[in-house]
Amino acid sequence: MRGVRSPLRLLSALIVVYLGAPLLAFVLRLASASRRGFHQPGLWPALSLSLSSATISLVLITLVGVPLAFVLARSTSRTAKAIGVLVQIPLALPPLMSGIVLIYLVGPYTVLGRLFHRQLTNSRVGVILAMTFVAAPFLIVAARSVFETIDQGLLDVAQTLGHGEVSRFVRVAVPVAGRGIRAGMLLAWLRAFGEYGAVVVLAYNPTSLPVYTYNQFSGVGLPTTLAPTALALGVAAVAIALSRVRLRRRGPRVAPAVQPGTPPLTAGEPLRFDVDRRLGTFHLRLVQDTPVRHVAVLGPSGAGKSALVRSLAGLAGPGVGFWYGERDLGDVPVADRRVGYVAQGFSLFPHLTVDEQLLFARGATPALAAYWRGRLGLDGLAASYPRQLSGGQRQRVALAQALCASPEVLLLDEPFSALDVPVRHELRRLLRQLQHETGVATVLVTHDPEEAGLLAEHVLVVSGGRALQSGPSREVFAHPVSPEVARLVGIVNLAPAEVVAPDAISWGGALVRVDASTFAPGTRVSWSVRPERVSLARPSGETGTDDREVSRVPGTVVDVAFVGVASDYLVAVGRSQEIQVRSSDPGSWSVGDSCTLVIPARDVTLWASAPAGAGASEGVR
């Protein structure tokens, strides 16, 4: 077989042989033996005791251990870490010592032992207590590991849809972690069923199957241990097989064929916020004090955008200033804020169908689900799971899910960043339509200037947890207050220059007209102009004119890129300066062509250059 000499295959074969050979030898012995011990007295009661006690133990472990695992997985406190270590100690103790430790708690002469009339040892209760102590860590550790892998966004979305902690645990965490929990339950049950040391110390009678087997081995001999060993192997095989059987899921909950309802329209009140939070060493301090209906928060990764959205949703705790109209949402519980939250990464519940996602919100109705399913183009996908959907379809479902909660404010955390360009443009337009149709206020965080301009009337440019500029979209994009803001709003033409007159700067040896009256001649400045505001003309022999409204700068086309319906030209000026020009007239220029840059003075933005080591400079026009 190809690859049979692979070291990994050889190592795998070695462990398989080591584990399988004893079992094969036992099966051969069992088949050939004339005396197996199936008729020995006490065998079947011992098997029954082990089966029932292990099952009761598993029920107790599951009821208590799974919630504990969830709490430990979601907590980073020192107490949780200490409990996590404590839970694993029984794994390190030899089983015999586990029984001895338990005697000090439930033995006949302890407080608990006397309270229960010395019935906690040498009884079925003692067997169950011993099994539970040694087996519980297997389930708790397995469940905790899988709970830690659950995307926090799923639980956050569930909370904003009106579900409390217990509901999120039962309806989201447990189903998502189901596989790992089942594996932990199997390990715990098998460990409990096979426990000998702790059981023999705490409850020698009644006799469990492992204790019975040892008694047969030490009193009668090896032949009579064939039967209990065979039964144990059979029980283990059945348990493993049952753990692999997936219960047939009830039919997906699909909204019945009802007449789609009309979504309730909100009053379209403006919003504002004042957020001051410390997240470790990161300080988020953002204020939007101008009441507006649609705000875009624009900034690079790590600027605090997602932290802002989580704070406004209430997911980072109370105490955030957040107002919708005159209503203060800052201390309102998350489930009661009427805030829809669309997290990054399509945070859909993997175990729910599309219609179940839409009906998950508290207060969602089949009629409302039917409306949004149709409005967002999801008809025909009602019974589909997230794994069966494309990225664009998943994003539509996430948006419909939030809208089914009838929110007054929609919080969007980079909702389209993972989508391809055509789908992104389509969903942007759809969201813009929904903003007008429903009246819902929106807070959009994004790193895409085009997205911010399309979906918001007010833009907040942020970096490092601070606002660099805030104002109407048109003003921010047209007049960024610093080179850093200019870069963040997508202006690619940023260059150094020197003021030579109240109405001109020198750039690459060329004269550029601009209002520089607030700067003294000789001042080093930075300047910018949007590519689409610059045009190209055929050379006229003029290196500059007395026209104070327009600059004419000679240059050479060094690169041409066709970008859809427009062309981007890179033009060299002087020896080391370059400027980008975007034109809707493709094919007019070629690399190497001489040209004249026509730059309107009113479209030039000027800043004083920041000294070395200083922060962003203040902008001046």
Q: How far apart are CA 216 and CA 203, in angstroms?
A: 18
Q: How far apart are CA 423 and CA 218, in angstroms?
A: 74
Q: What is the pLDDT of residue 614?
A: 40
Q: What is the pLDDT of residue 615?
A: 40
Q: What is the pLDDT of residue 613?
A: 39
- Per-residue pLDDT averaged across 317-322, rounded? 83
Is it the case that residue 544 has pLDDT exceeding 80? no
Q: Which residue has the higher pLDDT, 279 or 385?
A: 385
| β-pair type (458-463, 441-446) | unpaired
Q: What is the pLDDT of residue 391?
A: 86
Question: Of the CATH numbers 1.25.50.10, 1.10.238.10, 1.10.150.20, 1.10.3720.10, which one belongs to the domain with range 36-243?
Answer: 1.10.3720.10
- Per-residue pLDDT averaged across 210-229, rounded? 90
Q: What is the pLDDT of residue 584?
A: 82
- Per-residue pLDDT averaged across 475-496, rounded? 89
Q: pLDDT for 63-79, tens place per residue?
A: 999 999 999 999 989 99
Q: How far apart are CA 605 and CA 408, in angstroms?
A: 38
Q: Given this structure, which CATH class describes domain 492-620?
A: mainly beta
Is it the case that residue 619 has pLDDT exceeding 60? no
Q: pLDDT for 445-464, tens place per residue?
A: 999 998 999 999 999 999 99
Q: pLDDT for 296-315, tens place per residue?
A: 999 998 899 999 999 999 98
Strand partners, 600: 550
Is it the case that residue 574 has pLDDT exceeding 90? no
Q: What is the pLDDT of residue 426?
A: 87
Give me 201's structure tokens: 């110390």
Q: pLDDT for 249-284, tens place per residue?
A: 555 555 455 556 666 656 678 999 999 988 888 999
Q: How far apart are CA 602 and CA 102, in angstroms?
A: 84
* Mean pLDDT for the chain overall: 88
Q: What is the pLDDT of residue 387?
A: 92
The yes or no reply on domain 271-478 and CATH 3.40.50.1220 is: no
Rg (CA), the chain: 35
Q: How far apart are CA 11 and CA 23, in angstroms?
A: 19
Give me 115's structure tokens: 């309270």
Extract long-range pairs of 485-491: CB within 8 Å, 24+ residues apart. 485/461, 485/616, 485/619, 486/528, 486/605, 488/298, 488/299, 488/300, 488/449, 488/461, 488/463, 489/298, 489/449, 489/459, 489/461, 490/449, 490/450, 491/528, 491/529, 491/530
Q: 242-251, 394-403, 602-611 — which one is most confidently predicted on average?
A: 394-403
Neighbours of 397 (CB within 10 A): 26
Is it the case that residue 98 has pLDDT exceeding 80? yes
Domain boundaries, the chain: 36-243, 271-478, 492-620
Angle at 236 between CA 230 and CA 242, to 5 degrees: 135
Burial bucket for residue 67 (CB in 10 Å: 0-12, 13-18, 19+)? middle
Q: Is residue 197 very low, low, confident or very high in pLDDT (cuts 50, 70, 90)? A: very high
Tell me if 461 sits within 8 A of 298, measured CB to CB. Answer: yes
Q: pLDDT for 33-62, tens place per residue?
A: 878 888 889 999 999 999 999 999 999 999
Domains 271-478 and 492-620 share a fold: no
Tell me if 396 sits within 8 A of 342, measured CB to CB. Answer: no
In angstroms, the Cα distances linking 9 to 2, 12, 439 are 11, 5, 62
In angstroms, the Cα distances linking 129 to 42, 51, 193, 406, 542 are 22, 14, 12, 50, 97
In the block, which residue shows the tokens 């030490």?
218
Is it the case that residue 240 has pLDDT exceeding 70? yes
Q: pLDDT for 166-195, tens place per residue?
A: 999 999 999 999 999 999 999 999 999 999
Q: How far apart are CA 159 and CA 23, in angstroms?
A: 50
Q: Is residue 620 very low, low, confident or very high in pLDDT (cuts 50, 70, 90)? A: very low
Which of these, 560, 585, 591, 556, lies nearest to 573 by C-alpha position? 556
Q: Which residue has the higher pLDDT, 283 or 319?
A: 283
